Structure 1
Amino acid sequence: MHDTAEYTDEKEIIDQKAIKLAEDFSYDGYQVVRRELFAHLREPAVVIRRDSVTFNTACIAGLEDTVYIQILVNQDSKRMVVRKCEENDKDALRWCVAKPDKRKSRKMTNKIFSAMMYEMMGWNLDCRYKILGHKITFEDETIYVFDLMETEIFLDIKGKRAKKDTESQFTTEKANSIEETASNSTDNERSVEEIKRKNRIPFYPKEWKDSFGLPVEEHRKALEINMLDGYAEFTTGK
């Protein structure tokens, strides 16, 4: 009986707290935490390197039976859109390897497109950029929207460049260009293995340093896009 009374008193205290919270609650001052801050191995994403673009398996699975796509880029809002198309459509790009039982991710080798993207975004050529995809429906069509301003950044130094890097450190200019989420090594003689390890350490835009995400109201408007306003289709030979 005594235990029951204690439980009832505790429940009343909790309920009173809930009532007070409800009376004073407002979304003012809250930020919606970016999903990029959590592990998301099974979420749709694209990785852009200085010489290629690769969409992950989750991204490909999200557009059922799609083998060919068109890539659209909005230079004003810094967003990229992927939409399904047919093989013979103008500017169709094959984004996966199609087999009878499944579709697999493929490396879409390019130089000009990546160079244009890196220049537009002011990205570091020693890094690769991973962007999560938002699947939305627009005019009865399912598309992916990638916000190029919200990226995970990884060092992408390989081969001869990795060996060369063991003999020298990043310059101060390069170090200041990206915000690292883990502590940098101060060792001047890093091994190739150390370079490989650092290639897996994510960096984030320095603008994120003092913010968990967008304010609630701004977040609600973040994915309002107009396909007819400012989007340019990337043209390339098939």
Structure 2
Amino acid sequence: MEHAEKKTGSRKLPASEMPDEAVKDRKDYAENEIVQDDSFSYNGYQVVRGEFFAHLYEPSICFNQSKIYVNTGCLKRMQDVDYVQILVNAEEKKLVIRPADEDEKDAFLWCSIKNNGRKPKQITCRVFFAKIANLMSWNTDYRYKLLGKIIRSGEEKLIVFDLTATEIYLRTPKNGEKPRTSRKPVFPAEWENQFGLPVEEHRKQLQVNIFNGYTVFGIRENKKPADITSETGSIRGSNND
């Protein structure tokens, strides 16, 4: 493999500039390192949850103080989408963000548009926030963050979130000061003794039929503040914090 070590000055030649013989030698060496094992099975393996790794650039959605907002990762993966609908499957505990036309029923602007650029925006949705908190028995004083996955269903590109897979950021008072939100997440208790879902179950998590069990939620608030407070108050009262 003498050719593979050839340098130009202090720069080692990349594979694209190597002679064909050197490239072939490298490929043959790589192939010889691979062991064929037909007995391997995914049984017993778990797919480690993405929440356990740094994920600044992964698509995510946050629920916090009666507001929701997506991150830049969502916007970048749907670059031509300004208006969306939110769909919720209460039985499967999944939330879907679906592209929509501006004049489509229950569609809303999910980002700020300035100088031909788009940025995440916080969207107030007291009723929707309270309904999700009630469905999932969330503490409305905490911040909840969910990682999403991009899937294609038919001709549609969707972002799917598992409402049971949350990062929880506690908000607690300290020394009589105003409560502050923790920077360290707390994960669901059932995750303590597992790395993630079994492989087959993990595959099924991304199977979505948006016509089966999903409800489109209106996010825009057209009610008077007094009406909203009354409705969210009744929902929150049934929440077990």
What SS does the aligned partner of 1:71 have?
strand
Shift of 1:47: 0.3
What SS does the aligned partner of 1:76 have?
coil
Q: 2:197 aligns with which of 214, 221, 226?
A: 214
Shift of 1:26: 2.1
* Counterpart-to-counterpart distance in 1, 2:197 and 2:220: 39
Amino acid at match of 1:135: I
Confirm or deny: 8 A CA contact 1:50 1:118 kept in the other structure.
no
* Counterpart-to-counterpart distance in 1, 2:145 and 2:219: 22
Corresponding residue of 2:24 = none
What SS does the aligned partner of 2:186 have?
strand
Map of 1:1-238 to 2, 5 A cutoff? 22=37, 24-157=39-172, 162=173, 165-167=174-176, 196=180, 199-237=182-220
Q: For the aligned residues, what is the CA RMSD?
A: 2.3
CA, structure 1 residues 236+36, in 2 after alignment: closer, same or farther (shift >3 Å)? closer
TM (norm. structure 2) is 0.73
List alignment gaps of at least 5 residues for structure 1.
Answer: 1-14, 168-190
TM (norm. structure 1) is 0.74
Shift of 1:29: 1.1
What SS does the aligned partner of 1:98 have?
strand
* Counterpart-to-counterpart distance in 2, 1:219 and 1:237: 33
State percent identity of aligned pairs.
Answer: 43
List alignment gaps of at least 5 residues for structure 2.
Answer: 1-32, 222-241
Confirm or deny: 8 A CA contact 1:96 1:104 kept in the other structure.
yes
Q: Which one has the largest radius of gyration?
A: 2
Confirm or deny: 8 A CA contact 2:108 2:220 kept in the other structure.
no
Count of residue pairs the alignment pairs up: 191
Q: Deviations over 1:163-205 (max 9, x none)?
A: xx535xxxxxxxxxxxxxxxxxxxxxxx66xx64x61111000
* Counterpart-to-counterpart distance in 1, 2:46 and 2:158: 26
* Counterpart-to-counterpart distance in 1, 2:216 and 2:185: 30
What SS does the aligned partner of 1:43 have?
coil
